[in-house]
Structure 1
Amino acid sequence: MANYSEPSSSLSFTSPSHVSNGSNGYNISSSSIPETRTNLEIISLNKLSSHLEKLLIQTDSNSNSDFNSSYSDAVIVVEGNHVCIHRCILAARSKFFCNLFNESKDSVEEDGKSKYIMSEILPFGNVGYDAFLVFLNYLYTGKMKSSPPEVSTCIHGECPHDACRPAIAFAVELMYASVIFQVPELVSLFQRRLLNFIEKAFVEDVIPILLVAFHCELTHILTQCIHRVARSDLDDITLEKSLPPEATRDVKSLRNTLPESAAREPKSEEDALREKRIRQIHKALDSDDVELVKLLLTESNITLDDAHGLHYAVSYCDPKVVKEVIDLDQADVNRRNARGYTVLHVAAMRKEPSIIVCLLSKQVSVFETTRDGQNALGICKQLTRPKDYNTKTEHGQETNKDRLCIEVLEREMIRNTMGKDVIVSSSDMTEDLHMKLLHLENRVAFARLLFPSEAKLAMEIANAQTTSAYPGLLATKGSNGNLREMDLNETPSIQKQRLISRMEALLKTVETGRRFFPHCSEVLDKFMLDDLPDLYFLEKGTPEEQVIKRSRFVELKEDVQRAFTKDKAELPSILTHSIKNRARKYS
């Protein structure tokens, strides 16, 4: 067995009496010289790397330093951001940039500096601003930074972020940069990273990996992606719409060799005719010709549901065309396709707010889940980066579409809790149950805060005495307000029954308030629908946003107090006396 001991230093410090030959107190053994030299080289390289990193930071587009404008000699515009660069460094590190800078035709002079547009210098693919900064950091320092969470994770609270769409998309952009800008060591690094995603990710999220592998001629990754897609339930239409023809052909060819393909019966003439008519409907939708769609539906026995026409339109058509198709009222808006997705699920994947709103206006069910338990809101969250969701919108600017989709779906889920009946049909503890319960908890909590005596009475009648104020906020701080907490000795079915019982008590509380204090309830209902999504977390956001939230909260309190005064004035005296007697009984 090897004997391991603490390593000794290559430099030994001695007293002056032991020093000879003018060694100035240091006795350096000849065997330690190579190790000392290696250590010095590492220290020097680290210093050089850190110095160059400072140079990169000072050339960030957000910097206004004189150093930046004085020493950088070129600019690359990426997604509207001006990134100042030093051509000597990029040319030395990348053959692509060396060739680019030798060609003056691709640059435009601006303030005495050469200017390049990222979208114009790329032969294919896309490299975004954040990915380009990470790539530049490697060129300047030789060190690979970790991916920034705000652009390489999603906002879904239960996602491990090991294969969600933002993580994959960011790695794909870095792979494009590594291949196009010809940095081989990074190509090897990101090839391993993308391979790790393939089996973990949803098959829809494998498509971007397949595309980068196809265009960059990464044979190993491409083969793995084709095998994953071939084993999946992606339909031929999706393949043809999403993949290059060569890749589609390879996937279909591989599918024919799989064992399950042998069990399929060959298509009959009737099936072939049916498929042809469905294709005609899809082609009419591709042409934005809704009148032709209506004609085809009239002349054949194929319905819009048979062709999954709504799913197709929501996936690939212009939002205006989607609205026209929905307004035909010839399809079930809650119908599922062969993969188990409702039309709203497909709309959530596309992240187009106008389509989602149009579907919700047709009473589509917002709580339906996919086979893996995701509802439309969860799908949107898993596709949305924190950077996009948290972007502050200036007055007059359009809200980020990703955030708008999430807010619309959240608000619709809350609206569905306003009725008397809450139906929980799933055997599992799904997101809709938690969403409804959280809304009811917050509604009763606000009632307690604004008119405590009356709320207490309604809660006692409904046997809901333990409602916590602001459970949504408390849940984020690890307190007992977290509705998802479960005793280790409590089974999922017992937990579900406990939460349903709690929900019934809260519903009874709300209905009691509506009966005896209708004006207050009306104000609270409006608040829960219009303002609560922004006020769930009073401490969240910029200082300016917090001031606005607290100001709105004060306005709400004044509105409720006025409504409560109006309620008391309108209550018959005998009813007021009855409420007081009941209050004494429960006090």
Structure 2
Amino acid sequence: MEAPSSHVTASFSDCDDSVSMEDAAPDADVEALRRLSDNLAAAFRSPDDFAFLADALVAVPGAPDLRVHRCVLSARSPFLRALFKRRAAAAGSSGGVEGNRLELRELLGDEVEVRYEALELVLDYLYSGRVRDLPKSACACVDEGGCAHVGCHPAVSFMAQVLFAASTFQVGELANLFQRHLLDFLDKVEVDNLPLILSVANLCNKSCVKLFERCMEMVVRSNLDMITLEKALPQDVIKQITDLRITLGLASPEDNGFPNKHVRRILRALDSDDVELVRMLLTEGQTNLDDAFALHYAVEHCDSKITTELLDIALADVNLRNPRGYTVLHIAAKRRDPKIVVSLLTKGARPSDFTFDGRKAVQISKRLTKHGDYFGNTEEGKPSPNDKLCIEILEQAERRDPQLGEASLSLALAGDCLRGKLLYLENRVALARIMFPIEARVAMDIAQVDGTLEFTLGSSTNPPLEITTVDLNDTSFKMKEEHLARMRALSKTVELGKRFFPRCSNVLDKIMDDEPELASLGRDASSERKRRFHDLQDTLLKAFSEDKEEFNRTTTLSSSSSSTSTVARNLAGRTRR
């Protein structure tokens, strides 16, 4: 039987731009694969539209759950297929979506912190077979003018996370792709990011041999000290580094590149949070804080409380450079702890000092901060990201224009009335703790507010709200030493806030300075003004109490704050004033 002629073939051959079926087939296959990729990707990228099909959830801390489909992931990843099989066997049935909730730790362990954006990219690849554009919010830093976003920390960290997740899921083609990316720009990576890449390459084992060898060579020849490497890498990798450095003549066989025993004793004391032992070791005279670079070490590796205690000893130079050219403030910018940064600045650390490669502390902090963390919106009353806060503090310190004078008009109006000033400061700091919790806690800790006795007005129960004014100068009150100590601590808190957090201080000034208008309503005799005063006062107290309760439920910061009733009493008292 003669094969029927193809109308499609004829139509192609009749065209000037004729294409044979042999040429058209690959294009058709590519288009079909593209549509298949898009359709499968839609099941993951549009979770609401395909929620009825999802049969598992991946829970990422601090982010929305990812709805996934076990059949797709099992077909694409041997690791996930084995995981789902074990879970199904243990459960006895497939279960529903909530019954198949996977914690991130179960998927990837604790060795590398894989964030939401990196995991999302890997899962999207399992659905679509294509790599999406890298998200700027996760892999670009804030230093947009001086960084190409190739070797900065957000870019390196994101790629390392994707590499680790792809290797763990046994998705070889994706792991190889990101290994090649890292190899291509490894020479452009900032040296402080090399331990991260080396650690991930070591965990990926056989799938990242080339990356491990190349990165190991760069770390061995770098100026990274052994203490820093010891904190970031496992012991078997540390041994390889020390052996290679000794072989190349870069370290002495006697000390393997580590500090002498006297310095190490001080560093071990700091690791144990034992500042008193540090004092005792210093009295032996074998070394000092500067020779041991103890302040650098405490800022980088210890709790902020230890750094504060070490600063109080006042035996270390806060502007001393370590062998790599970093001052203590440069290290603090890497640590990105607002309390440590402010503590150093108040002790005379210079924000204008450059590293050997020409970076200031604020630029170091910007290179470490993700674009999304800095430019993302922060809800009022919610903690600001530490990264963003440190950048703002360092930028403000460089401008050297702290606001001067009284905290606000309301405080100036208090005149010489110590009780009025103390009440004002209590209310201002209480309001700051609710609206700007992280900023307030930093200033309060440095001012040592928690060691003072809180000032309250009246009895322990809320007094009835009366439309009267109270002259605090006429009220029987004796200012005691504990009140003066409290006032000094609160005043320092406000001063630190105005110096390092001017944005927050301006908001507080506006709120506090609007208070006299509210108080004037209460002194007006007209019934309409009295009614308005009642309404405003009730609204203010209700909103303030609700915010206070929410703050107490959600914040994890240590607090010596008063109860909601105390704050309400203080507000009511200030209104009556």
TM-score bracket for this pair, using the shorter chain length: 0.5 to 0.7
**RMSD over equivalenced CA pairs, Å:** 3.2
Distance 2:171 2:134 in 1: 18
1:347 matched residue in structure 2: 332
Confirm whether residue 145 of structure 1 aligns to residue 135 of structure 2.
Answer: no
Deviation at 1:127, TM superposition (A): 2.2
Aligned residues of 2:402 and 2:498 also touching (Cα < 8 A): no
Q: 1:84 to 1:111 in 2, by over 3 A?
A: closer
Asked if the contact 2:403–2:502 (Cα under 8 Å) also holds between the matched residues in 1, the reply is: no
The equivalent position to 1:228 in structure 2, one of 214, 218, 239, is 218
1:298 aligns to 2:280 (yes or no): no
Q: For 1:158-173, what aligned pairs fall within 5 Å after superposition? A: 158-173=146-161
What is residue 57 of structure 2 aligned with on the other side? Answer: 75
Read off the aligned partner of 2:367 and give its amino acid letter.
Answer: Q
Cα deviation, residue 163, structure 1: 0.7
SS at match of 1:75: strand
Residue 155 of structure 1 aligns to a residue whose secondary structure is coil
1:52 is displaced (CA, Å) by 1.8
Give 1:416 deviation, angstroms: 5.8
What is the alpha-carbon distance in structure 2 between the residues aligned to residue 277 and residue 308 of structure 1?
Answer: 12
Question: Judging changes above 3 Å, is the alpha-carbon distance between structure 1 residues 51 and 334 closer, same or farther for their aligned structure 2 residues?
Answer: same
In the alignment, residue 119 of structure 1 is paired with which amino acid?
R
Deviation at 1:28, TM superposition (A): 4.8
Tell me: CA distance 1:529–1:256, structure 2 relative to 1, closer, same or farther (3 Å): closer
1:8-407 equivalences under 5 Å are 23=7, 26-28=10-12, 32-59=20-47, 65=48, 67-80=49-62, 81-104=64-87, 113-123=99-109, 124-157=111-144, 158-217=146-205, 218-258=208-248, 275-407=260-392
Q: Secondary structure at the match of 1:193?
A: helix
Confirm or deny: 8 A CA contact 1:126 1:176 kept in the other structure: no
1:38 and 1:304, CA in 2 relative to 1: closer, same or farther beyond 3 A?
A: same
Q: TM-score, normalised by structure 1?
A: 0.64
Q: Which residue of 2 aligns with 1:414?
A: 399
C-alpha separation between the residues in 1 aligned to 2:150 and 2:372? 18
> In 1, distance between residues paired with 2:100 and 2:198?
35
Question: How many angstroms apart in 2 are the aligned matches of 1:319 and 1:527?
Answer: 22
Deviation at 1:221, TM superposition (A): 1.3
SS in 2 for 1:331: coil
Equivalent runs, 1:373-522 vs 2, <5 Å: 373-415=358-400
Q: Distance in 1 between matches of 2:504 and 2:37?
A: 46
Give the SS at the match of 2:273: coil
SS at the partner of 1:174?
Answer: helix
SS in 1 for 2:66: strand
SS at match of 2:260: helix
Question: Contact conserved, 2:373 with 2:388, CA < 8 A, in 1?
Answer: yes
Q: Given that residues 54 and 97 in structure 2 are in contact (C-alpha distance below 8 angstroms), is that contact kept between their aligned partners in structure 1?
A: no
Per-residue deviation, residues 202-231 of structure 1 (Å, max 9, x unmatched): 211111100001111122211111111111
**Aligned 8 A contact 1:109 1:115 in 2:** no
| TM-score, reference length from structure 2 | 0.65
- Partners of 1:316 and 1:24 in 2: how far apart? 72
Aligned residue for 1:467? none
Give how far 1:363 is off: 1.3
Determine helix, strand or coil for the equivalent of 2:100. Answer: strand
Q: Counterparts of 2:51 and 2:294 in 1: how far apart (Å)?
A: 55
- 1:538-553 to structure 2, matched below 5 A, reads none
SS of residue in 2 equivalent to 1:68: coil
- Look up the SS of the partner of 1:134 in the other structure: helix
With over 3 angstroms needed to count, the CA separation of the structure-2 counterparts of 1:533 and 1:203, relative to structure 1, is: farther
Q: 2 CA distance for matches of 1:527 and 1:319?
A: 22
Q: Secondary structure at the match of 2:188?
A: coil
Contact 1:153 1:167 in 2 (8 A): yes
Q: 1:197 to 1:243 in 2, by over 3 A?
A: farther
Amino acid at match of 1:406: I
Q: Please tell me the residue identity of whatever aligns with 1:137.
A: D
Give the letter aligned to residue 195 of structure 1.
L
Q: Give the AA of the match of 1:203.
A: V
Contact map agreement 1:166 1:384 (CA 8 A) in 2: yes
8 Å CA contact 1:168–1:197 kept in 2: the answer is no
From the superposition, tell whether residues 232 and 325 of structure 1 become closer, same or farther in structure 2 (CA, over 3 Å).
same
Structure 2 CA distance for aligned equivalents of residues 213 and 404 of structure 1 = 32
Residues 301 and 137 of structure 1: CA distance in aligned 2, closer, same or farther (over 3 Å):
same
Q: CA deviation at 1:393?
A: 2.0
Residues 532 and 89 (structure 1 numbering): CA distance in 2 closer, same or farther, change over 3 Å? same
Structure with larger RCO (C-alpha < 8 A, sep 6+)? 2
State the distance in 2 between where 1:298 and 1:530 align.
Answer: 39
What do residues 164-190 of structure 1 show as CA deviations (whole Å, max 9, x unaligned)? 000000000100111000101011101
Q: Write the distance in 2 (CA, Å) between the matches of 1:267 and 1:96.
A: 45
Instruction: Name the SS of the counterpart of 1:324 in structure 2.
Output: helix
Give the letter for the 1:131 counterpart. A
Distance 2:361 2:59 in 1: 36
Do the aligned partners of residues 295 and 57 (structure 1) sit closer, same or farther apart at CA in structure 2, a change above 3 Å counting?
same
Structure 2: tracts of 5 or more residues without a match: 405-496, 515-577
Deviations, residues 505-550 of structure 1 (Å, cap 9, x unaligned): xxxxxxxxxxxxxxxxxxxxx9997657999xxxxxxxxxxxx99x
Shift, 1:413, TM fit = 1.1
Question: Partners in 1 of 2:233 and 2:501 — Cα distance?
Answer: 42
Amino acid in structure 1 at the alignment position of 2:371 = P
Question: Would the aligned equivalents of 1:240 and 1:248 in 2 still touch at CA under 8 Å?
Answer: yes
In structure 1, give the amino acid aligned to 2:124.
N
For this pair of structures, how many residues does the alignment match?
Answer: 405
**Gap change, CA 1:202 and 1:533, over 3 Å in 2:** farther
What is the match of residue 463 of structure 1?
none
Q: Quick one: distance in 1 between partners of 2:102 and 2:180?
A: 31
Deviations 1:448-496 (A, max 9, x none): xxxxxxxxxxxxxxxxxxxxxxxxxxxxxxxxxxxxxxxxxxxxxxxxx
Do the aligned residues in 2 keep the contact of 1:49 with 1:142 (CA within 8 Å)?
A: yes
**TM superposition shift of 1:391:** 2.5
